[in-house]
Structure 1
């Protein structure tokens, strides 16, 4: 199977330096709202990991509500405020341990063929919970590409976790 061509990813040092800059820039909550402060964080994740879509979903009852979405131009498949049943989502399955937090090639995994399908392909994904102080799970920070991405690794997952820590801090300080 041929791999899809992907844009060049910034180096890990670039990612970490930019995330550190964003942590400082958002330290006081700034004058913007949560979306304005999270947008560059999500864009950094999407660009660095070479993903098509990155989003923050809040768990509200039985639903996952998309609170913040960043997509490559022409690749938007979900909108802020839309919701889907948590049980249908890969992200819920990651949180409760039924799926791994990183999958490079979803179509190649036979066990994934039994999962719910969407109106768009998921070739690879990374997903981490957004855990508030006290341990309550707010939701998830997830990203995915339409094509498989064999280059993804544990370092990418750690970087998503770093971004999730910043996102969680902003959510706690500024609300949804």
Structure 2
């Protein structure tokens, strides 16, 4: 499915309005509304964690995160080697953007063991208009949530990328 084929609902419109309203031009930093956007996404998708990461200098850094109450496996500012991250596996194509049930992949050693439960995992690159990867927009749940919508995540990642890209208008 292409982005143009995607039929946005009220959540997508709200997310778009939040990100577009943040400024009239692109900013190299994440807009202040991103945590609000992450909370909306996490809640609507029925996930436990949603975050934006930046990949640079061999590291994956969690830039913004929203977690379900009582479960905080990652936090803003957390950094780890990019090669140990699911984010890089998705960017490289070693893992798909949507994994309905990640447990078998972890058990078989096909995905890094994060040390906490992952059922459904969604991740998509935040790709700047010039093709450069800023990082990823990810969310996951502790249980299987096969109905989680990767298209909504891609749509939001594209909006975030536009806000980060020099020379674009909001």
Give the alignment's TM-score, normalised by structure 2: 0.81
Question: Aligned to 1:161, what secondary structure does the other structure show?
Answer: helix
Aligned residues: 155
Q: Name the CA distance, whole Å, in 1 between partners of 2:51 and 2:58.
A: 18
Q: Name the CA distance, whole Å, in 1 between partners of 2:151 and 2:90.
A: 15
| Change in CA separation of 1:111 and 1:20 when aligned onto 2, cut-off 3 Å | closer
Pairwise CA RMSD: 2.0
Whose helix proportion is higher, 1 or 2? 1
1:163 maps to 156
Matches within 5 A, 1:80-119: 80-107=76-103, 109-110=104-105, 113-114=108-109, 115-119=111-115
The structure 2 residue matched to 1:136, chosen from 132, 139, 145, is 132
Gaps of 5+ in 2: 1-7
- Judge conservation of contact 2:73–2:116 (CA < 8 Å) in 1: yes
- Judge conservation of contact 1:26–1:37 (CA < 8 Å) in 2: yes
> Higher relative contact order by CA 8 Å / sep ≥ 6: 1 or 2?
2
| Change in CA separation of 1:120 and 1:92 when aligned onto 2, cut-off 3 Å | same
| Change in CA separation of 1:81 and 1:110 when aligned onto 2, cut-off 3 Å | closer
Give the alignment's TM-score, normalised by structure 1: 0.79
Q: Name the CA distance, whole Å, in 2 between partners of 1:39 and 1:47.
A: 12
